[in-house]
Chain A
Amino acid sequence: KQEVTQIPAALSVPEGENLVLNCSFTDSAIYNLQWFRQDPGKGLTSLLLIQSSQREQTSGRLNASLDKSSGRSTLYIAASQPGDSATYLCAVRGGNTDKLIFGTGTRLQVFP
């Protein structure tokens, strides 16, 4: 059974810092991995999708890497801003299933 864990559970940093959020999964037979952000009381916004054959994806100040064999992904946020404050969720799609299995999330606060 696939389990997805995210550490840390919460993070509070001053503006301008570079951050690394971690996601680990127990079954390496995944199809892809997706990172989302969720603002309080809002829906999920897709940030990055990494296919199982890829090592990383970049979008602006965000870079996500995937090491399928070790069951890990990291989301790197460069030069953090207060607007980055949100909960970040990673989700994996299994090799032969169409459901996304979510991690527990990392709640990020970036203060000025």
Chain B
Amino acid sequence: DTAVSQTPKYLVTQMGNDKSIKCEQNLGHDTMYWYKQDSKKFLKIMFSYNNKELIINETVPNRFSPKSPDKAHLNLHINSLELGDSAVYFCASSQGPGGWTEAFFGQGTRLTVV
């Protein structure tokens, strides 16, 4: 049973389109994240949500809008996609604050903008 699952796994789309990536965790964690892994494989945080509330917004362009309908789900919507948005996007979850635990990651969504 997958702990953190995200869909789709692959996404190929044209510049200017709007797309969404969905993420769900069944670990009962209260904090979820979006990370971006660039072409050099470097991972950097984009957003963090704790109990549906935005905690971290790491100077990401406002074309990226996360939405957390409940603490088990964190979706990422991207407007007006650009070539530079091509990357692998990872969703993650952990328990915290006040007792940060092990973070678990999804399998990633490889986004290719053409």
Contacts and interface: CB of A to CB of B under 8 A. Distances in A.
Nearest to B102: A49
Interface string B90-109: 10101011001111111110
A87 B48 CA distance: 25
A31 interface: yes
B41 A105 contact: yes
Interface string B29-67: 001010000000111110010100001101000000000
B100 A98 contact: yes
Given A98-B55, A99-B33, A46 B107 contact: no
Interface residues of B, number: 27
Contact of B100 (A31, A45, A89, A102): A31
Determine chain A's interface SS by DSSP, over half rule: strand
Given A31-B100, A44-B90, A98-B31, A87 B41 contact: yes
A105 B56 CA distance: 24
A68 interface: no
A36 B100 CA distance: 16
5 contacts: A34-B103, A46-B102, A98-B56, A100-B33, A100-B45
Interface of B: 31, 33, 41-45, 48, 50, 55-56, 58, 90, 92, 94, 96-97, 100-108, 110
| List of 5 A-B pairs having minimum Cβ-Cβ separation, nearest first | A43-B107, A44-B105, A102-B43, A99-B45, A49-B102
